[in-house]
Each structure stands twice: as C-alpha cells, then as structure tokens.
Amino acid sequence: MIALNMFPRRNARVITGISFLVIAGLMLYKTVGPLDGTKNPEAVHVPRARSESGNLLTQSPQHLKKQKEYESLILANIQKMTAHRAMERRMNHDPVGVMLHKKPSLLEGLGRVRDMQEQTKSAVQKSVVSENQLNHKIVHLDLKGAPPKVEYYKKLFPLLHSFGATGLLMEYEDMFPYWGKLEFISAHNAYAKGDIADIIELAKKCNLIVIPLIQTFGHMEHVLKLKEFAELREVPNYPQVVCPTNNKTLPLIKLMIDQVLQLHPGIDWVHIGSDEVYNLGECTRCQQYLLHHQFSKNDLFLNHVVSVAKYVKGNYDVQPIMWDDEFRKIPLRALQDSKVGEVLEIMVWKYSSGIMVDLRSDIWEKFSSVFGGIWIASAFKGAANPDSYITNINDRLTNHKEWMEIYDMYKSSIPFRGIVLTGWQRFDHFGVLCELLPQAIPSLAVNLMYINERKADHGALVRVGDILKCSSFINLDLQYLEYANTCDFPGSAFYEVTQKLYILKRDINNMMKNHHVTGWVSDYNIEHSFVSPQHAEQGLQDLTMLLFDYGKVMNEAETALSDVFDEHTVKEWIMFNVKPTHSKLQKLHASVNKLQKLKEWPRRPLDSTENKEL
C-alpha cells in the first residue's frame, strides 16, 4: 500500500490528466499491444497466422472490431465525463475541511447559496445521478486480532445504512469461532457462534447483506503459524502461503469453508481471498508437480483457485469472489482456458492514487471478457502506513474520486457489481494495529456520501457533520488539524482522542526539534550531566504541560477504546501508540529536573575516567 499525495489535484487538471493517460494508453495498445502476454504484430514482427481463405492476418477481424469499439467507447466516456466535471466544478480546489454551526464567511455563504441552487435541480438531473449508482456499496470490516464488541455493532449498523451502505464484507480471520479440528485457528478472544448469529441478525435488520471473507491461498498466517498446520506452508519458514499441491491443503480449506458457511445461511456471495500469493510454486513438491504436468506457475495458481471456487459454488450455490491482483499478470488465453470466469467473480482493488495508470484499459478489457461479475475495492482507512493510528480523509477521498472516474468510464461496458470500501485494521496477521474503525467513521461517511452524490463540497460535508453530530470542524487533511473536533456517533470519543494524540505528538516533536534541545539538551548532554540550564529552560518550557496533557489523553484513550473493543485490543493499542512517548517524556522530565539542580560541571573530555568517578 502506498501513501497518497497530501494535496488534492484540481478537477480540471484531473480530467486533462485522465484524458491524456487514457489516450496515451490506447496509442500504446496500438503500438505494443495489450499487456496480457500477447504482442501486437503491427509493432513487433511475429509469425502471422493464415485465415481459412489463406489471407495473412495480424489479428482476427473480431478482435480488431472489438478493439475499435472499445476505443470509441472510452473516448466517448472521456468526453462525457469532462463535460460533466466542467459543469459541476465550482471551486478550483477541494476543501481541507468545513466549519459547522457558525456564521459563514462570504466564501462559505456563496457556497451555501450554490448548494441551495443545486437542490432545485430538475428531475431529469436527479435521474442522471441515480444512473451513476452502484448496486452494492459494501463496508469492509477487518476484524483480525481486534474484534469490536457486538454491542457496538448495534449502534454502528444503523449508521452505516443511513450513509448509504448496502452490506458488509466480514473478514473474520482468527476472530471466527472454528470448532473441531480447526479450533486452534481461532484466537482466544474470538467471537462465539452466538455472536456471529447476532451480527448477522443485526445486519439483516438494517438491510445490510453479509459477505464473509475466507483466506484460501495467500495471507493464511493465522492458520499456517500454528504447529498443527506448519507442514502445509509453501516455504517452511514463511507462514503466508499454503502449498496448493499438498494433499492436506484442499481438505483443510474445504473444512474452513464448511464451518463459515454453516454459520452464514442464505448468503449470495463469499469472498475467498487469494491476494498477494507470494512464493508460489517454490517448494519441492510444487516444482515436481509443475515439471510432471508441464504447468506454469499461472497454471498452478488457476488450478487451485478454480478447485476452491467449484467447491463453493457446487456444494452451496454461493457465488465466490476473489481479489484480482494475481489475475492481472496472467495472459487472457490462460484465463479463458482455465474457465475461471465460469465459477468466480473478481474484485479489483487499488487503495492509492494513480488508478488510471496502474489499471489500464487492456486490463479492464481482459477482465470483462473473462468474468461475468466485477467488483471494485477502495479504502476508507488503513491504507497509508502500517503503524498509522489516524486517517487522513483527503487521501481516502482522492482514492474514491478516482474510482468513480473509472466507474463512469467503463460502466456501459463492464458488469460492475458494486464497490467495497475496505477498512484495514492490520496490514496482515503479524502487523500492528492501524487506524482502528471508530476513528475512521468520518472518513467512511464522507466517502460514502461522495459515492452516492458525487459531491464533497461544503454542503455535502455539512450534511455529514450533521449526521455525525459534530460540533465544530470536520478535518479532511491532517496537515491543517489544529484542535480536536467533538462529535456524537458510535466510537466518537476515540475519534476525538486520536486527534488530540496527533496534535500532542506533533507538539512534542516540534519541542524535541527545537535548537535549544538539539544543541544543548541532547542524549549525549544528559548522559554526561552537561546540560545548559538556560537552554534547557528555554527549549523544554512546555515539557511539564505536555507530559500532563499526554497522561490525560492516555487515560481518555483507555476509556474510549473500552467502549468498542475488548481489554486485549485496548492494551495493545495503548502499548504501541501511547506508552513509548509517555515513557520518554517521563524519563526526560526526571532527568532535566535532576540536572537543573547542578551548579558545577566537569572539565572536558566528558568521557574521561575522572569524570566517570565523579
């Protein structure tokens, strides 16, 4: 995952950049051909096939016709999208936030007038908006190692429905209550079977469909870390990827699927993971299998996922979905020969900016010709840094804006099922906690609002603030966060805590970078009791206050987290995100207080034996 740019781009530049990139992509397609393993004979000399009439062909007439249709469609969509953006654009940049419940400035007042004018648009214009809607807007709940309390879902699910969400993608991982031979997979603080039933019932009451996610290839650390299943690793020292040729692998995966689907009756979809399958085909068994069957690693991958998908579809009449990243590098012919599209739907994910560059038209053409159902996946949190504890909404909004541009461009030719707004709580099973769910509710609200209305202007943000019952300011960019906003939504106390913590850590960092500290109160100075009292007073004049405020926020964090998570999650988050800095401040405060009592200092060199004896 890659952190996004801090500043949003101007809409006009976005459209111009998109037009250039897509047209350049089409020119590249004509020059070097699609990037699915084939080449274009117009650019590179390759042996040419003969048609039944004996004429030499560079490509089949059907392929050429389809290519031209695709190019025309893309260019037409670009023109429509450019016109639409030009009409809707009222400001030359995105806001960094919105003030709530105060007398508006002249600029804000003009914005509200424009918002009122927009509300009076004709029914024809409203029907255009409805045509832009995705059927499903699914919120991903990443639960691994940090399960929210069931009581929290009772408050959260109605709010998600009010934002326009239509379902949940539940990534249980070790939080699922496996039993029998699989009981060791579940964490000690996993949900009980009754909890799963309650969660499903709560979702049903709020008209939210549930899609469980089961890892079946990559990211199986929660299973393969255990000694009971260590023999199934593709690489003995790495517990990420399961060996697809081990005779015990499929029985294990099928049993996991059986137990998860048993507790999720009547569902329509199940996600079978399979992203980031590193170290594929590296074990001795897989190498021998590839040699014996004359398979490539792509064949090995497809053989496994098709087997899993067939089991799901054939035994439960449930449609499996998979992440798309491994399919991007597999040639079209290999996908068609495997018939993977007959049993799988695909979920195309990209959480950073530059979607148009990374997911070019040839990839969409390949996917649309193979899969009957295509999902897209954005991120409303947890896609910046693995140790991040607070979400920068502007980055997430940029990601969703780009995805909606992709959707507008291809919706007439690609069978999009819906969008999943992912919210990662750890980068993987071994990762630390990142951007916990409650503090990212404003980000989720803003981005769902944008998906539904294609707006992130003043009026839209005010409506979000009203729904979240925020009292002052909704911040979109952490660079401009000056004070913590107070809201009243499920988990809002923790949202406030993370803002306070961010501001305090920034103030502490500024203090420690002050030249009075870096030049005269360094660790070296402290260790050798050679600190300038005057510089210590000037550089660390706010130390006592910051230490007090930090201790207060640490206590507030424990209380706020306890409303949502169990004690284990609370301890882990505080241990990683709060205590190290608090301990450092306490140690510095004690050292400086002691050193400021000194009235005499040693001669140099400071590391001499004489000084050490003193």
**Annotated catalytic sites, by residue?**
276
443's CB contacts (< 8 A; 6+ apart) are 380, 381, 391, 393, 396, 397
Strand (E) or helix (H) holding 147? none
Which of 253-258's residues contact partners 24+ apart within 8 Å by CB, and which partners?
253/214, 253/216, 253/308, 254/311, 255/181, 255/182, 256/178, 256/182, 256/185, 256/214, 256/216, 256/223, 257/214, 257/216, 257/308, 257/311, 257/312, 257/316
Answer yes or no: are the C-beta atoms of 300 and 330 closer than 8 Å: no
Give the type of residue at 295: F
Q: How far apart are CA 198 and CA 202, in angstroms?
A: 6
Pairing assessment for the beta strands 416-423 and 473-475 based on DSSP bridges: unpaired
User: What tokens appear for 400 in the block?
Assistant: 């969703």
Strands (DSSP E) contained in 502-612 are: none
Which of 579-586's residues contact partners 24+ apart within 8 Å by CB, and which partners?
579/554, 581/505, 581/508, 581/550, 582/547, 582/550, 582/551, 582/554, 585/508, 585/543, 585/546, 585/547, 585/550, 586/547
Pairing assessment for the beta strands 56-57 and 319-323 based on DSSP bridges: unpaired
